[in-house]
Homo-oligomer: A and B are copies of this chain.
Amino acid sequence: MINVAIIGASGYTGVELTRILCNHPEIRLTAATSRQYAGKPLAEVFPNLRGKTELICENLGLDELCERADLFFTAVPHKTAMDIVPSLLRAGKKVIDLSADFRLRDVAVYEQWYQAHSSPELINEAVYGLPELYREQIKNARLVANPGCYPTSIILGLNPLLKQGVIDPSTIIADSKSGTSGAGRAASVGSLFCEVADGFRAYKVGGSHRHIPEIEQEINALGNCASKISFTPHLLPISRGILSTVYATPIKDFKLSELTALYEDVYRDEPFVRLLPAGSSPATQYVRGSNFCDISINHDLRTNRLIVLSAIDNVVKGAAGQAIQNMNLMLGLPEITSLEGAPFFP
């Protein structure tokens, strides 16, 4: 059994990490930190966990933390993460960071979109934790930067097209829709039931969402280019799920069947990518609660545009599930351990 701890356990990522890990056969969850709920059983903060964990939320210093576990999930806001992670690494721990602090390889880009970075030296070491792209590096990593939820859906959707140079990256428009859990568990008027329910809206329109540089970094690496993309996030009146509708213009002639074959080639051995047959479309309700990413590729012959649809559960493949997938890789465990559950429907 390997000892694992969650730093910042009282958000939706924390409860989902615990939900999945409490049945993991090789893992013992030994600490869950939360300043706000210190002293309170985690199963009282999240009553779904009753009977599944005895963990008490604690407010632990780094020394205490290091005694408790060998691998850490840091589920804290950006900026807070970069203050904690270096000490954990110095103590010889493995870290999967769920914040944005170590995702961007160019510190200047990070500082433009976020703020000054206090540990730029770790940026080069950190591995971007998208197993479908960086599996081998993740296996050997000390520090994995778990991808953002929107980027996960968009990058997995475009990956084969970019690798093969099928599309012009500068034509990419990603229109993404996310469930409200993506907004976190902080009390705010904008996330109240009555503000969100039975409604739909866009936000951060016009190129201002912080996931943009992350998406561009991976797109440009895959496409060997330096393009900018358009990205519009929207807020869905559901708890879990992201659907990204991604448009791009091809620069080559092809048959749709060739693209289908290309996707099958790229994703054949991926345990968590499901390619949909022609005529089927991904839906968030078909990946709910699972680590799957469902993808379909479509060609609008009238306008010669490709439309990629990609659905994930933002709390699982977009956060906690992918983090555990990374953990399994880092620990040499079978990659799918504890992530085998089929999606919930209805």
Contacts and interface: CB of A to CB of B under 8 A. Distances in A.
A52 interface: yes
Interface string A281-302: 1111111111010101011111
B197 A237 contact: yes
A153 B201 CA distance: 14
A171 B303 CA distance: 9
**For the complex formed by this chain, how many copies does it contain in all?**
4
Given A46-B345, A283-B47, A194 B181 contact: yes
A277 B164 CA distance: 42
Contacts of A200: 177, 236, 238, 241, 243, 283-285
A237 to B, nearest CB: 6
Contact of A185 (B189, B236, B276, B298): B189
B187 A48 contact: no
A303 B228 contact: yes
Interface stretch (A15-23, A84-92, A144-152, A325-333): A15-23
A194 B346 contact: yes
Contact of A234 (B18, B177, B202, B237): B177
Interface string A202-235: 1101110000100000000000000011101010
Q: Which residue of A23, A50, A52 has the most chain B CB atoms within 10 A of its CB atom?
A: A50
Contact of A300 (B206, B234, B243, B341): B206
A195 B298 contact: no
A38 B56 CA distance: 42
A343 B19 CA distance: 8
A48 B240 contact: no
B344 A230 contact: no
Contacts of A12: 194, 346
Contacts of A284: 199-201
A74 to B, nearest CB: 21
Contact of A199 (B191, B205, B283): B283
B305 A173 contact: yes
A346 B197 contact: yes
B185 A194 contact: yes
Chain A: number of interface residues, binned into ranges = 35 or more
B239 A198 contact: yes
Interface string A20-56: 0011000000000000000000000011111110000
B206 A299 contact: yes
Interface string A308-346: 010100010000000000000000000000001111111
A199 B241 contact: yes
A286 B45 CA distance: 11
Contacts of A228: 302-303
A274 interface: yes
A268 to B, nearest CB: 12
Given A177-B200, A191-B194, A199-B286, 17 more contacts: A12-B194, A15-B346, A46-B345, A48-B344, A173-B247, A181-B346, A187-B192, A193-B195, A197-B238, A198-B239, A199-B288, A200-B236, A200-B243, A203-B281, A228-B302, A230-B307, A289-B344
8 contacts: A50-B292, A52-B342, A191-B192, A197-B197, A199-B241, A199-B283, A201-B243, A203-B281
